[in-house]
Amino acid sequence: MTNEDATAFEIATWYDTWNQTGLDNLVNKIVPLNYATRYNLAFGQLVGSETSGYNVEMTGQYADQVKQQILAQASGVVIYAGLGDTGIAETVNDNNQNQNRSTKNIVIWLTDNGYSGISIDAESSGMSFVAEFVAQLSQDFKAAGLGIAVSVPWPGMGPAELYGNNAVQAFNDYVDALELQDYSSSGTPDDVPVWINAGVKASILMGGACTENGNAQTSLTDTQSWTQYAVQKNIKGMFSWRLDNDHGTQGTEEDVDPTFTGAKTIYDTVTGSNE
């Protein structure tokens, strides 16, 4: 794949917002922000009330500073607010009862705060509401130029089992990217066919690698081969969890001396670069 072709292949990653060390690494300009074009900030939640509706709240104390550093240093990147389960069910219910007012709140908050979209990483109580949630968001998000990603846990189970029988249609109609977060020994090459065979468009699927230290870390060999698979199958792209803690040299100490070799492996494989 040439550099020109690679522009259509999205590389996304996550960055934490709760760790002073991760912010310091950005401030000290040691983080290679050219390895991705989309950054999901971990994590936010949906909070609100029955009187005002629901909206995004970033829970990490360094969220604004991390966002500002990335935008200042990396030309052309976009930043998504990462959302967990909290508040998804309540937001869907509020939208149904109040003419989609929470969606309007979310759009205003994202645009006012410099975010280009959301990545929904529901892994428990919110999962059954995700398909309806993205349908509620879609029209106003498109009008505002905002994107919708869903970060999918246990993707080998397939869309219907994880998100319900309406998920395939909802994702095809309303979602820009599905990040398949399988960090097992099989990973992307096993998961992508499950989702395509279920009827999900290949053009919204992203393979995934775990680059942070720990038991779930994807080997560099698998990271490379899964990225090659993603390129060959012409899916949307690859994402990694997470750049701030990418292959650190200090064991499981968060954000301490990351080497960024996971993100570099994805980038080099996509662009054909060995720099």
pLDDT at 274: 60
| pLDDT per position as a tens digit, 39-63 | 999 999 999 988 999 999 999 999 9
Q: Kindly give the parts of the chain with pLDDT less than 70.
A: 1-7, 274-275
Residue pair 227/207 in contact by the 8 Å Cβ criterion: yes
pLDDT at 110: 98
Q: Provide the β-strand partners of residue 206.
A: 179, 237
User: Coil, strand or helix: which one is 152?
Assistant: strand
- Rounded to two decimals, what is the model's pTM? 0.95
Number of domains in the chain: 1
Radius of gyration of the chain from its Cα atoms, rounded to whole angstroms? 18
Cβ count within 10 A of residue 70: 20
Cα–Cα distance measured from residue 81 to residue 115, given in angstroms and rounded to the nearest whole number: 7
Residue pair 120/88 in contact by the 8 Å Cβ criterion: yes
Residue 15 vs residues 72, 154, 197, 204, 242: alpha-carbon distances, Å: 15, 21, 31, 22, 6
| pLDDT per position as a tens digit, 186-241 | 799 999 999 999 999 999 999 999 999 888 999 999 999 999 999 999 999 999 99
Helix axes 130-144, 88-97, angle to 10 degrees: 70
The enclosing domain of 88 has a CATH number of: 3.20.20.80
Residue pair 45/82 in contact by the 8 Å Cβ criterion: no
Segments forming the whole domain that contains residue 13: 3-271
